[in-house]
Each structure stands twice: as structure tokens, then as C-alpha cells.
Structure 1
Amino acid sequence: MAANSNATVVGHYSPRWLVVKRQGFLYLAPSAMLFSPDGPTRLLDGTVLPFDSDTKRISYQGVVEVPGTTKDQLYVRAYEWLAKTYRSANAVIQMQDKEAGRLVGKGVMKVTLRGFNAGYVQHTITIYLKDGRYKYILTDFAHEAGGAKDVYSAGPLERPDGEVMAFGDKKTWDKVRRDATADAELLIKDLQAAMTVKAGKDPSDF
């Protein structure tokens, strides 16, 4: 079943697996990845994380003007930024369409708790390019154990009960979500710096 799909829980297969029904078909789905968001995600201090009412997911998005640039120039900058930021374009980029001006990638942010590896938070980043501007969408945040010792996957960051699935207390789950969204904000700033860099000599011109 595709990520972010809507389905109805119709039974339990095991403590960690549920039977869900979607469009007449039955699927097995891990209980850690299922949730029913009822509104924006709120941290313990009352901070409300950016929320897309259509997708019901935490979502950072915006349109940035870059006067004097073409769609192709911005596409190259975005592609290079993805490759440098995530170390490998081949590993992160899920879809690329230069003609349409669209890049889609999946990345991860490491989670460290009390000095120990506690898995990672994955996310999806989509960048749309047009002459003189680009749009970014950063969403689909979800915690995965990733083989970390004594750590379970908590699933989407929107889960109000993520601490039950993986960490055992609300403060730890709150820290995971706060750190992940802080990293997201840094990514957005870094992307803007790369996309709005002043034109200089083309390094390929030698």
C-alpha cells in the first residue's frame, strides 16, 4: 500500500501488524506507521509545527523569487544542492524532470539521544523550478529505527503516541520532533543560499 494512503483498519494480524482495507483490497500494514491526525502537531511547549490541511502532514513549503535566472539554471543549482547536501544524488533523487522543472528526493536526518544512535527521521523534498523562482515542499517526516539497538520505529512525526511506539516518554518524542523540524529549517535556509547565489564565473569554463 502506498505511503500516505487512506485505509480502514478491519482486523489485527499480530501485535505489530494490522489488517486494513482500501478500495476493496486487504493489506497488512505495520501498526507503527498508521495514525489518524486530527489537526496540526503541537509540541509540549505549545509550538505548532507547520501543517498541510490537505495531506494532514507536517509540511514546510514556500516560493522563493530568484530574479534574472532561468528554469534550467535553477534546476542545475537544485540538483547540485541535493547531491552535495545528501552526499549522493543517485541515492537521494527519486524523480527528476528537467523539462517540467521538478526534482523529488528522499533524505534522512540522524537521531541521537543521550549520545547514542536512535535511528533516523526520513523526509521527502520536492523542488519545482520556473524562470525566476522555485518552490520547495519538505514533508513526510517519519522516524525509523534503522537497526539501532533497543530502538523501535515511531512512525510519522504527526503521531501523538509516538513515544509509546518507540521511546516511552513524551519528552523524548518531543525532542525527536523538535530536532527534526529544526534540521528541516536549516535545510531550507541552505537551499535558499544555494539557489540565490550571485552569478560568477562558470567553473566549467577553463
Structure 2
Amino acid sequence: VSQVELYRRARNWFVSRFPDYPHVVSVDDPAGGELAGTYCTVMQKLTNSYEVWRTLRVYVKEGRYRYEVTDFGGRDIGNAYDPQIYRVEPTNPMNVRRYGAEVAKQAQADIASLLAAMNTPTAAASAW
């Protein structure tokens, strides 16, 4: 699969996954073969809601691609008395207990969705 086609697949995934694509994507470089976006999802834990955000980068080359999920962060949005912004450090046991399973589940769902999109030809690729 060509770099152009892989890039198109990745970009289509970002566009379909995030209606506010221009605000999510920070790197959109077809020539360099890189797309990156930072986005958040909301988790509910007991009485509080939390925003958990992450950065997803996709790199494409002729015949292959790779992705990275990095920069996890969190913010308490359900408690008006203590709205703290903090990073979710994977080695902090408190953060692992608090967020680990749900964050991992969300990240795996994003990855599965991206992998499915990367294996599906775009309409432009199938047109002759």
C-alpha cells in the first residue's frame, strides 16, 4: 500500500472520529507522512467526572505505518470545589488504581478502530 493511501486512511479515521478535526489535529503533514491529534474522553467515577486526554500520532511510509499513544493527562471536571489539572503518570499507583483500567480500555478501543481503518481501502484507492 502506498504512503499516500495509508496517509489518506489515517486522515479519514481522524476526520470520521473527531467532528472537530481542526481543533484536535496538531500535525497534518502528508509529505512527511505524519498525523497527530490530542483529544479527550470523559470518564465517570463514582460521583465525579474526569476528562482523560491523550495524543495519538500516526506515521506512514511506503507499505507500512506505526502509531503512538502518549501524553496521557487528566482533569477532575465533576467536583467544583477541587478542579485540579494533573498528568496521569503510569508509574503512580494511585493514578493506576484510579484511571488505569478505563484509560487502557479507551485507548485499546481507539487503536482497534484505527487498525480497522488502516486496513480498509479508501474510495479514492478503489476508483479507477
TM range (shorter): 0.7 to 0.9
The aligned counterpart of 2:100 is: 177
Contact 2:50 2:78 in 1 (8 A): yes
Residue 196 in 1 paired to residue 127 in 2? no
CA distance in 2, matches of 1:200, 1:109: 27
The aligned counterpart of 1:130 is: 61
Q: CA RMSD in A?
A: 2.5
Counterpart selection for 1:149 from 79, 96, 105: 79
Contact 1:157 1:177 in 2 (8 A): no
AA partner of residue 129 (structure 1): V
1:128–1:179 Cα change, 3 Å: same
The aligned counterpart of 1:24 is: none
Deviation at 1:111, TM superposition (A): 1.3
Structure possessing the higher relative contact order (Cα contacts under 8 Å, 6 or more residues apart): 2
1:196–1:96 Cα change, 3 Å: same
TM-score w.r.t. structure 2 length?
A: 0.83
Contact 1:79 1:89 in 2 (8 A): no
Deviation string 1:111-134 (CA, Å, 9 cap, x unpaired) is: 1123x5512111111110111111
Residue 106 in 1 paired to residue 38 in 2? yes
Deviation string 1:17-70 (CA, Å, 9 cap, x unpaired) is: xxxxxxxxxxxxxxxxxxxxxxxxxxxxxxxxxxxxxxxxxxxxxxxxxxxx11
Contact 1:125 1:137 in 2 (8 A): yes
Whose radius of gyration is greater, 1 or 2?
1
TM-score w.r.t. structure 1 length?
A: 0.54
CA distance in 1, matches of 2:123, 2:28: 26
Deviation at 1:200, TM superposition (A): 7.0
CA distance in 2, matches of 1:137, 1:153: 26
Structure 1: runs of 5+ lacking an equivalent:
1-68, 164-172
CA distance in 1, matches of 2:25, 2:50: 21
CA distance in 2, matches of 1:100, 1:203: 20
**Same amino acid, percent of matched pairs:** 24
